[in-house]
Structure 1
């Protein structure tokens, strides 16, 4: 396997902690380490703590700027930094905000997404990118259509969703974007999640009382899970 950025699994939960190891080895704070590369340097802390994925372009910038050993990021072994390049803390200047530091907005309906993809947004093109600090650790923004989740979410509102890596930890009663496999009909839906008496199952429930009846699926059928962190209401002016 080549010792390049292409050899690194950027979705691995070990990448963030390894970046933190490198930063600590250089004796740098989060602000000092990430400010030359990211306007919102606090996103670096989110990456290190696996609350935000490291994008390929940002990974390339970090590796080149500090001459980081890609093999260390990939395996956790070997030199962390191949050659420390000179830098001056007093002259750090923020770079312009890059798309990977923002969150993409996809103007799509859930029915347009494909449940069989490893990432349901991978084949959609963002309409634009949103830079709103409280939601900058989210995965995507997308609109809500229909009224099954009324009054929690109104038709036309935009929700901010964040991918969940540990699906064993669920905030019961909160709204999630749920993606399932073919055993659960490749369903992609926004629902409130509730505990089932059978630990191997989970309850999906609409917030609109007009949509009565729960949907019960096997936990194992959930292939992707996104918590809804917030929403944006658009007024028609």
Structure 2
């Protein structure tokens, strides 16, 4: 993969410093990846696919075209999912529903603000707007994530991206994070894309709602 990473840089005319900045890592870290002394993380692969329009199949295997002919509207975090030719994904305003928990408990009683129609999506239960910059540059505030509810922490895929509702002193905190295993028993580690946000250890018992992020939609404003 290190050879393909160098090919991407050459094709786009990027220096090591410029690509490292896009990935949110240091130039020395990128140099180690390109020389085979370190591996490319899943979060950085996602950035390369989304931000640089690189074909994920080519990135993994070298097969096919390096870049998509047309940038996809949505970026899939799990390419092994079976996709549906068409579906209507409800878009919710979680502020209007008092958070994720009421929405997940009784979705039928919550009225969506709109519906999203994108062909060939994995099956999704709903979509919400992202708030905050903890997953920047992969996700920015105002982007949309489409999700599939998960019944419990035992059903997650470690290292993937999830939408969570966490109880902090009786208040609900809704966030999008990578979930990794923790060395502390009964806890999980929540990891941000943004290097300025520190990792957080959270007791599993404080996670009130959980959903797997299936796709994301980048919202760009034109001025």
Say which structure, 1 or 2, has more relative contact order (CA 8 Å, 6+ apart). 2
**Distance in 2 of aligned mates of 1:192 and 1:172:** 8
Task: Provide closer, same or farther for how the CA distance between residues 128 and 136 of structure 1 changes in structure 2, counting only shifts above 3 A.
Answer: farther
Give the counterpart of 2:118 among 132, 150, 173: 132
* SS across alignment from 1:154: coil
Q: Which runs of 5+ in 1 are unaligned?
A: 1-50, 52-96
Task: Provide closer, same or farther for how the CA distance between residues 136 and 148 of structure 1 changes in structure 2, counting only shifts above 3 A.
Answer: same
TM-score with structure 1 setting the length: 0.49
Give the counterpart of 2:196 among 210, 216, 224: 210
Instruction: Answer yes or no: is the 8 Å Cα contact 1:184–1:217 preserved in 2.
Output: no
Q: Which runs of 5+ in 2 are unaligned?
A: 1-81
TM-score with structure 2 setting the length: 0.52
* SS across alignment from 1:126: coil
Deviations 1:42-70 (CA, angstroms, capped at 9, x unpaired)? xxxxxxxxx9xxxxxxxxxxxxxxxxxxx
Give the counterpart of 2:205 among 199, 204, 220: 220
Give the counterpart of 1:192 among 178, 184, 189: 178
**Distance in 1 of aligned mates of 2:131 and 2:103:** 23
Tell which structure's C-alpha radius of gyration is larger: 1
Q: Which residue of 1 aligns with 2:98?
A: 113
**Distance in 2 of aligned mates of 1:191 and 1:225:** 11
Task: Provide closer, same or farther for how the CA distance between residues 106 and 171 of structure 1 changes in structure 2, counting only shifts above 3 A.
Answer: same
Is 1:154 the counterpart of 2:140? The answer is yes
Instruction: Answer yes or no: is the 8 Å Cα contact 1:102–1:136 preserved in 2.
Output: no
- Root mean square deviation, CA, Å: 2.9
The answer to which structure has the higher strand fraction is: 2
Query: How much has 1:192 moved relative to structure 2?
Result: 1.4
Q: Which residue of 2 aligns with 1:71?
A: none
**Distance in 1 of aligned mates of 2:103 and 2:114:** 22
User: What number of residue pairs does the alignment pair up?
Assistant: 137
